[in-house]
Amino acid sequence: MKHIIYSFSIALFFVTACKTEKNEQAAESGFEAKIIGKPDIKITGDVMTPEILWSLGRLSEVEVSPDEKTLLFGITYYDIQENKGNRELYTMPVNGGDMKRISETATGEYNAVWSNDGKHIFFMTSGETGMQLWKMNSEGTERTQISNINGGINGFIISPDETKIIYIKEVDLVNHVVDVYPDLPKADARIIDDLMYRHWDTWTDSYSHIFVADFTGNSVGDATDIMDGEIFDSPLKPFGGLEEITWSPDGKFIAYTCVKKKGKDYALSTNSDIYLYDIESKTSKNLTEGMLGYDKAPVFSPDGLKIAWESMEREGYESDKNRLFIYDFLSNTKKDFTSDFDQNIHGISWTADRKNIYTVSDYHARFQIYKLNIETNEIHAVTKGDHNYQSVAVLSDKLIATKQSMSAPTEIFSVNQTGEETQLSFVNKDVLDQIESAKAEERMVKTTDGKDMLVWVIYPPHFDPSKKYPAILYCQGGPQSSVSQFFSYRWNFQQMAANGYIVVAPNRRGLPSFGQEWNEQISGDYGGQNMKDYLSAIDAIKKEPYVDENRLAAVGASYGGFSVYWLAGNHNQRFRAFIAHDGMFNLESQYLETEEMWFVNWDLGGSFWDKTNKTAQNSYANSPHKFVQNWDTPIMVIHGEKDYRIAATQGMSAFNAAVLRNVPAKFLYFPEENHWVLSPQNGILWQREFKSWLDKWLK
């Protein structure tokens, strides 16, 4: 039985080569572990720096061998000087031990899976014809290319009996100018007649389709496009991965996720469905017809008689409760198994006896592993503690999971039935052991309406309570994404605290893991209660004797950037500096500049021209640009040109407004970055500018 561990989404990173270094595991684990193929990392000082942050190995895509003896996974290391990274494949015993690198190339390896007999590994790597399917033995030798598909592929899944293969690739279904006007071959315009012409950070020039072909283990046959002629994506762009597609255990069906809408209809809807494709008849059946929200990530039961998936109820609401549904093929019925569970579920793993499902769920700003009993419908937490479990796979005698926290990036853990965990991988232990970690603690703060709000307070390394420190209020994006125990490579709490600041990170209204009522309050109330929650958090923490209330700042990205812009006009002299990254500044412009119209329709309440819509009018009345006349505090604006969710003109407008108001301002502009900052040197530049701006005004 194959065990694939999927994180919340799968991303591909194209990267370059690494060196070798010995790494020793914690003595208490009872053995010495080596990481063969780890690059040299020079540590200066004893606190986190941007250079150290970008030198950490990023572990992903863990798979357990069929005999449950070996783990297979990838680690990405970045070369700061070369401004790129490289992802290589590693193996290690399932009970822990030496990590062995089994690939060493300049192109990186992705989507690695075991063969049924465990003797070979199939994977993707790039070449002259794009990403192709390769094969090697389990020791990493005898590499052979076994596909040569025009344009390359973006992912693959081999059928359970290894006689067929699914692969996904881009299909060009767009009429270019040259197709319409062949006598104008050098014209570079786009002819657009509908919405969703660009999405997040790319223009919609092609679609991701699923192909199925015969497979021998050494070659890929002619393929059938199961979405032939359709202008839809599967997996869903931009965040969907192979977790949205799966084979039935008998290899006769493919279940896949798709939004079968286009243009304006697609821009207004989150109605993805689970489709069941019959290999023999070449027809698809919609299993979730009439279910209007997101339905995705299907997983068959081991006997193929049931299929489970993640489901949201309401169309147009991307942050609705993420439920666990199961469809029974024998009774032709489906059921919500989380109707009495006021939490989200992420990732689904069946047990071999089909009686239980393991999943990951967020509760009070932590992600834990949960177990669902199918027969009794009972669900309970298996793990506990201050961490974020990201994924889980079920073995015959234990669970294999990935986990991170505010103080450490993702590693692999073994978890038993009682929740006792054992760390198996130690990718970054040698680095983290050399730096002083910033301590994070939970504080409960009363809000203006009498609620208890969980606020993380992160203290600088070598914290001395007898001293006074500047503090920064961290404003979360999303707007509905938890301020949990995440380890970010940009908004990294260790890095912010290492700069000498106390970080105040509230789980304000509109964040998940505290029930749907708390999560949903923010929709239609952007400038309301959640802004009061921010101020409650900083007002409570600034009273501590070790906080200098005259040296406070507020920072954030996306909705956090909106929050900073709003606070800049409504903070009543609390703050001495602001930093806003990719934030919404003018909500009226944002409504017409963004691409996923369902988002602004739901969160803002609708269009600004609908004067009868009180919710929408309240949203636009609270647009940050309406309070620019109150701006008097230094502000740094950061934006990426390829951010199509929140266009760069939003950041430019905010910066221009500050300058025209004679407010000290700086604009950090990234022409090649999107809603994030993904390249090493830009990432380090971001961290340096972040620190220098705060130091200038707070120290």
- Residue 361 known to be catalytic: no
In the DSSP assignment, the letter for residue 332 is: T
For residue 284, report the phi and psi dihedrals to the nearest 5 degrees: -115, 145
Q: Rounded CA gap, 242 and 297, in Å?
A: 8
Instruction: Please tell me the distance from the alpha carbon of residue 584 to that of residue 153, in angstroms, as a whole number.
Output: 36
- Active-site annotation holds for 396: no
Residue 482: which of 358, 598, 618, 346 has the closest Cα? Answer: 346
Give the position of tokens 């294999």.
Answer: 400
**Phi/psi at 597 (nearest 5 deg)?**
-65, -25
**Which one of 3, 387, 625, 675 is the catalytic residue?**
675
CA–CA–CA angle 241, 243, 248 (5° rounding)? 135
Rounded Cα distance between 103 and 606, Å, is: 51
The rounded radius of gyration (Å) of the Cα atoms in the chain is: 25
Q: Tokens in use for 590? A: 């944002």
Give exposure, 222-240, as e/b (b: 16+ Cβ within 10 Å): ebeebbeebbbbbbbebeb
Residue pair 94/413 in contact by the 8 Å Cβ criterion: no
Burial of 182 (0-12, 13-18, 19+ CB in 10 A): exposed
Catalytic residue among 272, 320, 643, 653: 643
Q: Check 55, 558, 619, 623 and give the catalytic one.
A: 558
Instruction: Measure the CA–CA gap between 385 and 368, rounded to whole angstroms.
Output: 8
Structure token pair of residue 185: 């071959």
H or E segment and range at residue 324? strand 323-328
Q: How far apart are the C-alpha atoms of 632 and 578, rounded to whole Å?
A: 11
Q: Are 149 and 212 in contact (CB under 8 A)?
A: no
Q: Could you give the CA distance from residue 46 to residue 42 in angstroms, rounded to a whole number?
A: 11
46 tagged catalytic:
no
Which positions are catalytic? 558, 643, 675
